[in-house]
Chain A
Amino acid sequence: MPEKDYEDIPGTFVFDADRSREGYHLNQFCISLRLQKNRDEFNADEEKYLDKYPMTAEQRDAVLKRDWNRLLALGGNIYYTSKLAANDGINFQNLAGLMTGMGVEKYREMMLHGGRPIDGNRYKTEWGDED
């Protein structure tokens, strides 16, 4: 396999075919929450609802714990995981506050001041040990 030229971007999961394959059942679960009847069923009994989706034990655990970053690491895509967040009353901006570890207020402040700058955020080497 050729090397992926987008794997050196820090703090980013590029949702490619490999991730899509790994995350398939997780993402299909998430998108099911688009509909109210499914949200009602999930919220009544999360474990039972999740039984319908043959995701890995790790993915299932990350759903139950709402571990937003691990969901991405395990093949979830933000447009899917945001449906789970929406079910919990969390919008895109507040979800970003959680994923970045900044918290909602600090993240919102950063956006009001022009967002996260590109300088220092292009390559993993610029982030040191953190990915």
Chain B
Amino acid sequence: MARITAGVGCSHVPAIGVAMDTKITDQPYWKPVFDGFEFSRKWMKENKPDVIFLVYNDHCTAFDASCIPTFALGAAAEFQPADEGWGPRPVPVVKNHQKLASHIAQSLILDEFDMTIMNEMEVDHGLTVPLSVMFGEVSPEDEWPCLVIPLAVNVVQYPAPTGNRCYQLGKAVRRAIESYPVDLNVMVFGTGGMSHQLQYKRAGLINREWDQRFLDLLTEDPVFASQIPHVEYLREAGSEGVEMVMWHVMRGALDDEVKEVHRHYHVPASNTAVGHIILENVAA
């Protein structure tokens, strides 16, 4: 049977992708950001997943304002990196585990999560930057080291799904994956955040204490964390900090008790606090 072995929480700041693509990661501004992923890249090699179920948000790239699905599951065979207005990122096409994805879609809907199914979709930095930071540079001619099932969550138009809904969805994702009759090592990524506000006069907001508390709660008391109301994210972590609801999908897919094997936090990357955590299912 397929099994979920670990979860990864990770910011997906576009400028991090640009720094890798333009090979400036050794500059003093960027070095501390990337140093925190050195452990993670080794860990990924040692724990090589077959599939990553990657929860992210589209930043008005694949989805315009005409259609705003709350949860959109990628079921296409592959996903091209999108042109977001400055050319597509020079990274490989993202390949799906299409059979597992369609199994998950069917399972989730019968489990009463009414998913949108995407049979064609481009993916933006929200999906490719986490792959880049966790795997390191991969040239467009090569392949990503594993297959990826994308789950795009609306966090652009208020309201995003609640933390609780995301946490419960994570549990349903786990039920779906564990009922797939092929032995696969699956990891779940929750991406976005941490505190940041990109717009208007309060842009630049960072709340280090709140972010650290969020990471603590995510590891130790995920149910409590899943109850944080939207207005608290907006006020305390900035209008774009509400992306962190996506981390609850990842946490919901893991055991109640997990082992935190790595944590990294750094300010700033562009406008944003970079947060990263690796949680292992102890029983796995």
Residues of chain A whose beta carbon lies under 8 Å from any beta carbon of chain B: 5-6, 9-17, 20, 23-24, 27-28, 30-31, 33-36, 39, 69, 72, 77-80, 82-83, 86-87, 91-93, 95-96, 99-101, 107, 110-112, 114-118, 121-122, 130-131
Interface contact B64-A6, CB-CB below 8 Å: no
Main secondary structure of the interface of B (DSSP, over half): loop
Chain B's interface size range is 35 or more
Cα distance A11–B199 in the bound complex, in angstroms: 8
- Given A35-B83, A100-B201, 9 other A-B residues pairs in contact with their CB atoms under 8 A: A12-B201, A13-B199, A27-B64, A28-B65, A83-B60, A83-B84, A116-B204, A117-B206, A122-B236
Q: Which of B59, B83, B86, B205 contacts A79 (CB 8 A)?
A: B59
Within 8 A of A (CB), among B189-207: 195, 197-207
Cα distance A55–B58 in the bound complex, in angstroms: 24
Provide a sorted-by-A list of 13 A–B residue pairs whose CB atoms are within 8 angstroms: A12-B200, A13-B199, A16-B158, A34-B84, A39-B85, A77-B156, A79-B59, A96-B203, A99-B200, A114-B206, A114-B208, A115-B273, A118-B205
Cα distance A14–B267 in the bound complex, in angstroms: 24
Cα distance A95–B86 in the bound complex, in angstroms: 15
Cα distance A92–B199 in the bound complex, in angstroms: 9
Interface contact B15-A92, CB-CB below 8 Å: yes
